[in-house]
Amino acid sequence: MAHARLTVTPSDIIAPVSPRLFGSFVEHMGRAVYTGIYEPGHATADERGFRRDVLELVRELGATVIRYPGGNFVSGFRWEDSVGPVAERPTRLEVAWHSIETNEVGLHEFADWAETAGVEVMNAVNLGTRGIEEAASLLEYSNHPENTALSELRRANGRDEPFGITLWCLGNEMDGPWQIGHKTADEYGRLAAETGRVMKWIDPGIELVAAGSSNADMPTFGTWEKTVLEHGIDVFDHISLHAYYEETNGDVDSFLASGVGLDRYIRRVADIIRETLDAYGSDRTIGISVDEWNVWNQTRFNEIDKPPLFAGGWNEHPRIIEDEYTVTDAVVVGSLLMSLLRNADVVSMANLAQLVNVIAPIRSEPDGPAWRQTTFHPFALTARFAQGSVVRSTVEADEQSTADYGAVPLLDAVALADGDETTLLLVNRSTTEALEVAVDVEGAPVASVLHQRTLGVPDGGSRHSSNSQSDPDAVLPLDLGIVTVGNGAARVVLPALSWSIVRLATPRTTSTITTPGTDNV
Ligand code: AHR
């Protein structure tokens, strides 16, 4: 058994937990929309064609903000195609994913779905093939109340009240050569800033997300952010960061340390934001929008799945990157979410990419069932129970060496404080050994365990176990009784290769209660 110590300091607050950290993403790609959230004729479909079984899982997942409609898709998208009478909407070649787009689902349908699901829409404008005019028109159509041609068109199309969309992405992954309308940092920065300015003149209440780097290995990473920010330091509210992780060449130890990679990536972008704001003497706040993150077996997609897809015919909603997630993937997704929380002082929002079928926590089959992938569970439990504030915690633990990130502690941990409760998110990165963790909460003795769930290798399974249509609950988070409490502290024994959430009752002792406006004696 390996050993670790975790000391939590509830009085040292990193940041309150924002619901925006639990966003997700629906792109017009593969089967995310068609036969994902929308399938008229499905046994569970409502009168508008939305699958109720998927809707229920979306609610259970606890997703808050959904980015739409792309992704690479948005860089070739004409938003006007997707509004008005469905029968009159054009069918188009969708070049980003080599598909046919019928536009049967568009802005109105998606906004209706979002309302039913209880989520906020985060809309992206096309800065690949299009520019200021089209972005401004889309915003006016969406958010202007009435008495202009575009707002009246929206009303004629059945939506009297404005959609009131607050969050707007200025294009997508414009640093990537794969992107339709790929640009240099200067070209993009200028276009995004000028577009953003006009958008804010139309609706000053919106928040704008500039496109940052597609991943930390991009050759332009760093200079891209600096240049883009210099163009729009006065207008951007967030800059995006995209991050996908996968296990390569069987290097599971590096894969399990992906959160370390994400921590470093986020802190580097935060430094660039800080330095650029300082250089301009700006007192604005620009957050990091991690608006695409997940585990994605990208090597397999690029080498095996993509060539035939792009060489083949043009089809409606083909199956694209329907990765089936394992226990190991779920543990990594849990730890990536922990990284987002740990950096909640600079991460303003985040979107698990994506929501349904396309590298997604929820899977559905046409005419068939919907089910939870392994990765669904750490996300849903974190979204539900990560309340209050992220607080400082210190890990002392045995380490293991990784090829990608050097020596990393076996224990990955994040602590949250909410009144008299402390929530711990814990990952044991060892694939072979259980990890005993001695937990101390400073100024708040542990009184009892309120809740505990662990997701790990199931009995009789392996780290490759997954959930599937035929066995949707093969991997579930369970109460394994891993926590014991005594003498005001807790002892947690984490199984090898596992993610856990533990909620503890930790009544604060009077000497540490801080009353605003009084000295803390
Ligand atoms: O989420 C899948 C794709 O990954 C998105 O379309 C793109 O933005 C990213 O490269």
Reported as a single tens digit per residue, the pLDDT across 452-503 is 999 999 999 999 999 999 999 999 999 999 999 999 999 999 999 999 999 9
Q: How far is the CA of 243 from the centre of ligand 1 (A)?
A: 10
For residue 90, give every residue at least 6 positions away whose Cβ sits within 8 Å of its Cβ, in sequence order, or none. Answer: 81, 103
Segment 109-147, tens digit of pLDDT: 999 999 999 999 999 999 999 999 999 999 999 999 999
- If you take atom 9 of ligand 1, which residue's CA is the nearest one? 71
CA distance 414 to 395: 10
CA distance 376 to 355: 10
Tell me the mean pLDDT in the region 224-240.
Answer: 98
Q: How far is the CA of 25 from the centre of ligand 1 (A)?
A: 10
Which positions are catalytic?
173, 292
Segment 363-399, tens digit of pLDDT: 999 999 999 999 999 999 999 999 999 999 999 999 9
Ligand 1 atom having least distance to the Cα of 73: 6
Residue 469 preceded by cis peptide, ω within 30:
no
What's the pLDDT at 39? 98
Ligand 1-lining residues (CB < 6 angstroms)? 27, 29, 70-72, 172-173, 292, 353-354
Residue indicated by tokens 């035929």: 470
**Which of 212, 390, 361 is closest to 287 using CA atoms?**
212
What's the pLDDT at 509? 82
Q: How far is the CA of 407 from the centre of ligand 1 (A)?
A: 31
For residue 32, give every residue at least 6 positions away whose Cβ sits within 8 Å of its Cβ, in sequence order, or none. Answer: 26, 354, 355, 356, 357, 358, 360
CA 162 and chain centroid, separation? 26
Among residues of the chain, what percentage have pLDDT more than 90? Answer: 97
Q: How far is the CA of 71 from the centre of ligand 1 (A)?
A: 5
Mutate to test the pocket of ligand 1, among 29, 31, 72 (most ligand atoms within 8 A of CB): 72
- If you take atom 3 of ligand 1, which residue's CA is the nearest one? 71
- If you take atom 5 of ligand 1, which residue's CA is the nearest one? 71
**Which of 325, 300, 216 is closest to 261 using CA atoms?**
216
- Helical packing angle, 258-279 and 327-342, nearest 10°: 30
What's the pLDDT at 514? 46
Q: Are 96 and 89 in contact (CB under 8 A)?
A: no
Ligand 1 atom having least distance to the Cα of 72: 6
